[in-house]
Amino acid sequence: MTNHNSEAVMDELDMSAAKAPAREAAGARAKAKSGAALNVAIGVSAVITVAGIALWAMQISGGMVQTAMRNLDSWGLYITMFMFFVGLSAGGLIISSVPKAFGIKGFGGISKVAVMTSIAATVAAIGFVVVDMGQPFRVWELFVYSNLGSPLMWDIIVLMTYLILSCVYLWAQVQAEKGKVSAAALRVISVIALVCAILVHSVTAWIFGLQQSHEMWHTALLAPWFVSSALVCGTGLVMVVVIAMDKAGYLKVQRANLVKLAKLLGVFVCVDLYFFGCDLLTEAFPAAGGMAVVDMLVSGPLAPFFWGEVVLSLVALVIAFVPALRTNPLLVVAGICAIAAIFCKRVQLLVGGFQIANIDYPAVLTPYTVTDWQGNMAQAYSGLVYWPTALEFGIAVGVIGLAFLVLFAGIKFLPLKPADEK
Amino acid sequence: MHYGMVIDAKYCISCHCCAAACKIENNLPEKTWWNRIMTVGGDTMEAPAGVHPRLSLSFAPVACQHCENPACVKVCPVGATYRDPDTGVVRQDYEKCIGCRMCMAACPYTGVRSFNWDEPKNGTDYALGDADVPAHQKHVVEKCTMCWHRIARGEEPACIEVCPSRIRFWGDLDDPESDVSKMLASRQHTQLLPEMGTKPSVYYLV
């Protein structure tokens, strides 16, 4: 439904790249055009957001029976997207804060834009938790009856802190450029932001990784793995956004900085694939219970997402590491491949966790039991145990619209351009 | 006090009386079953496992295991599910539940927790069962309460007394003189998924 519109917005901003010689001449024209395009983008994302809210109201009033989630697969697209957007939020903040925290040379003027993408992605992540809740009007209970032992509670605390900190960090960068915040203070904020970024990914991993009930989730590797996956898709996102903004004439990215980003992306993809390999080997080697997880991924219902991740990661890797391939259009392809690969990873984790039931003996099946409840248990698990409904897709597009709205509004109203260009 | 159940599952005939009694007693929504009879092996309910002529047929009634180390209680962000310290019963507060379904992801016993995916209706125009049962709510998680309203009055849970095979027992596991304690002392028994370390309060005799 609203899907079409959001794709159009992405096309407009992401999918093209200029040839270097033509760039200077087109600069002024592009600037005027991009101003109008930005207003259109803000309008379109606002409309998508409002449509999403209307669909969410439908979900609340008509019941979550309209989603495909059921007792045996009790989380779905929303929590997948929550994981995914927490991951996307990483890149911006980490790429921006690491150079400042360690006092090394950064990526030029892209630091503020990068943090803006973090803020937008964090807003989406929080949005996805909210639309997943059965009783969103009881959200205040989280702060009154907090069970501080729950990983979900940790995540809510860390995510809130992360959002506030990202905003403070962005503000501090703007103030530092005006000379109102000292370099030392900015460096302290960078360090805190960096620690918080690593925490937010670890804690999100622990929502899954600390559950002994799902063999696929229950591994100590999950937290570091979430950090590496976040770095992959976050770097991919920053790369896509800065190339798009360079094309739109909003800021100028130096070739050297893009190459640095690409190399970083390649390294992150390698680390992520290494963790993947370690996990698969550990699951498979005893040839016991974990074998079911490996079979499900390699040749079972989740194979398209498994091989999708592998192939997309390799494409990103090759583009990032082969100097001749590091052209702007191909770097955008690499960035999108990296993001899509991590999305495949998230689907594997979420659906895969529910795909293997601890107790799969036949018992009474009702429309509440499992998505495909009309056959027997074996039939319910023969394909993907869960596939979202149109309503879930619609609400998800709405939340993504909100993230784009935040990003575009930031670009329009905040001084995100590199200071030296003004 | 630590209330628990002992089920002599070897003699379960899968008549679903305990499941139906639970459903009526607690005025359960139409599509919700807190207590379900699982057919061990087999493709569908009441179908034997194995290949002819080597067939076997056995059943396991499964509801909330009221664990001593419950995975669900640890993860609930608002404490809507908690273990009652006086009785060992794992309880669920519908008023508090925010519907995040973290407990459903954490519980190793597939399907014992149920979410009301729409407005709970029991299939009749009137409420069934006991008047002391709290009203069901849309978009919250619920599960076996060990018939909290009945044990509060000193009665047994509804599933115990209806069993025609007389294989369900309920009592205080801390009291060595209780029926359940004596049974566990004299008979071999097992628990569901002991490797999960949840220490269920429901025992199955073998």
Res B83 pLDDT > 70 = yes
CA A292 to chain centre: 28
pLDDT band at A419 (very low <50, low <70, confident <90, very high): low
Residue B189 belongs to what H/E stretch?
strand B189-190
Res A348 pLDDT > 60 = yes
**Per the CB < 8 Å rule, is A358 touching B32?**
no
Contacts of A45 (CB under 8 A, 6+ apart): A6, A9, A401, A402, A404, A405, A408
Provide, rounded to the nearest whole percent, the portion of chain B with pLDDT above 70: 100
Identify from B15, B44, B78 which residue to disrupt to test chain A contact, counting A C-beta atoms within 10 A and taking the largest count.
B78
Identify from B81, B109, B110 which residue to disrupt to test chain A contact, counting A C-beta atoms within 10 A and taking the largest count.
B110
- Min distance B175 CA to chain A CA atoms (Å): 31
**Per the CB < 8 Å rule, is B119 touching A63?**
yes
- CA A206-A270-A275 angle, to 5 degrees, is 35
Residue B51 belongs to what H/E stretch?
strand B49-51
Contact residues on chain B for A358, CB-CB shorter than 8 A: 108-110, 193
Minimum Cα–Cα distance from B108: chain A residue: A213
The pLDDT of residue B24: 96
Res A7 pLDDT > 70 = no
pLDDT digits (tens, 9 = 90+) for A184-204: 898 899 899 889 999 999 999
Alpha-helical regions (H) of A299-420: 303-321, 328-355, 377-380, 390-413
For the CA atoms of A321, A324, A330, A331, the dihedral, rounded to the nearest 10 degrees, stands at: 50
pLDDT band at B25 (very low <50, low <70, confident <90, very high): very high
Minimum Cα–Cα distance from A67: chain B residue: B117
Name the CA radius of gyration of chain B, rounded: 17
**Per the CB < 8 Å rule, is A134 touching B31?**
no
Provide, rounded to the nearest whole percent, the portion of chain A with pLDDT above 70: 91
- CA A413-A414-A419 angle, to 5 degrees, is 135
Range name among A86-100, A195-209, A388-402, B149-163 with the lowest pLDDT average? A86-100
pLDDT digits (tens, 9 = 90+) for A141-178: 999 999 999 999 999 999 999 999 999 999 998 898 88
Write out the DSSP string of A192-211.
Answer: HHHHHHHHHHHHHHHHHHT-
Residue A252: both structure tokens together: 């100028």
The pLDDT of residue A29: 65
- CA A225-A211-B34 angle, to 5 degrees, is 145
Q: Is B62 helix (H, G, I), strand (E, B) or coil?
A: strand
Considering CB atoms only, which of A145, A151, A362 is closest to B45? A362
pLDDT band at B41 (very low <50, low <70, confident <90, very high): confident
Name the CA radius of gyration of chain A, rounded: 22
pLDDT digits (tens, 9 = 90+) for A242-252: 899 888 888 88
Q: What is the C-alpha separation between A337 and A240, in angstroms, rounded? A: 11
Contact residues on chain A for B35, CB-CB shorter than 8 A: none
- CA-nearest of A69, A18, A168 to B139 is A69
Q: Number of CB pairs < 8 Å for A and B?
A: 162
The pLDDT of residue A30: 60
Q: What is the C-alpha separation between B102 and A97, in angstroms, rounded? A: 33
pLDDT digits (tens, 9 = 90+) for A214-273: 999 999 999 999 999 999 999 999 999 889 988 888 888 888 889 999 999 999 999 999
Task: Sort B206 into a burial class: Cβ within 10 Å, 0-12 / 13-18 / 19+.
Answer: exposed
Residue B198: both structure tokens together: 């949840």
Q: Which residue has the tokens 């009592």?
A: B171
Residue B109's domain is classified under what CATH number?
3.30.70.20
The pLDDT of residue A27: 57
Residue A175: both structure tokens together: 């103030």
Contact residues on chain A for B193, CB-CB shorter than 8 A: 358-359
Res A124 pLDDT > 90 = yes
Q: What is the C-alpha separation between A193 and A99, in angstroms, rounded? A: 12
**How confident is the model over A14-40, as a mean pLDDT?**
61
The pLDDT of residue A108: 67
**Per the CB < 8 Å rule, is A65 touching B47?**
no
Give, to the nearest 10 degrees, the angle between helix A328-355 and helix A255-284: 20
Considering CB atoms only, which of A64, A74, A376 is closest to B105? A74
Average pLDDT over chain A, rounded to an integer: 89
CA A407 to chain centre: 14
A231: amino acid identity, one letter: L
**How confident is the model over B176-187, as a mean pLDDT?**
96
**Per the CB < 8 Å rule, is A147 touching B98?**
no
Q: Which residue has the tokens 């639970």?
A: B22
B167 vs A96, which has greater pLDDT? B167
**Per the CB < 8 Å rule, is A213 touching B108?**
yes
CA A11 to chain centre: 19
The pLDDT of residue A422: 38
Identify from A132, A361, A370 which residue to disrupt to test chain B contact, counting B C-beta atoms within 10 A and taking the largest count.
A361
Task: Judge whether B105 and A214 are in contact, CB under 8 Å.
Answer: yes
**Per the CB < 8 Å rule, is A363 touching B74?**
no
Q: Give one word for A38, left, alpha or beta, with left for phi > 0 and alpha for psi -120 to 50.
A: alpha
Please report, for chain A, the start and end positions of each structural domain, with discontinuous segments joined by +: 3-421
Residue A394: both structure tokens together: 């619609």
Residue A101: both structure tokens together: 């925290």
**Per the CB < 8 Å rule, is A72 touching B71?**
no
Residue B49, beta-bridge partner list: B56
Considering CB atoms only, which of A133, A212, A363 is closest to B45? A363
Q: How many domains does chain B have?
A: 1
Task: Judge whether A174 and A415 are in contact, CB under 8 Å.
Answer: yes
**Per the CB < 8 Å rule, is A70 touching B114?**
no
B90 vs A288, which has greater pLDDT? B90
The pLDDT of residue A415: 86
Contact residues on chain B for A203, CB-CB shorter than 8 A: none
**How confident is the model over A52-74, as a mean pLDDT?**
97
**How confident is the model over B20-47, as a mean pLDDT?**
94
Res A9 pLDDT > 90 = no
**Per the CB < 8 Å rule, is A63 touching B114?**
no
CA atoms within 13 A on the CB side of B48: 8
Domain that holds residue B57: 3-205
One CATH from 3.30.70.940, 3.40.640.10, 3.50.50.60, 1.20.1630.10 for A3-421: 1.20.1630.10
The pTM of the full predicted model, rounded to 2 decimals, is 0.91
Q: What is the C-alpha separation between B138 and A196, in angstroms, rounded? A: 36
- Min distance A313 CA to chain B CA atoms (Å): 29
Q: What is the C-alpha separation between A415 and A157, in angstroms, rounded? A: 29
Cβ contacts of A217-224, under 8 Å, gap ≥ 24? A217/A349, A217/A353, A219/A279, A219/A282, A221/A275, A221/A278, A221/A279, A221/A282, A224/A275
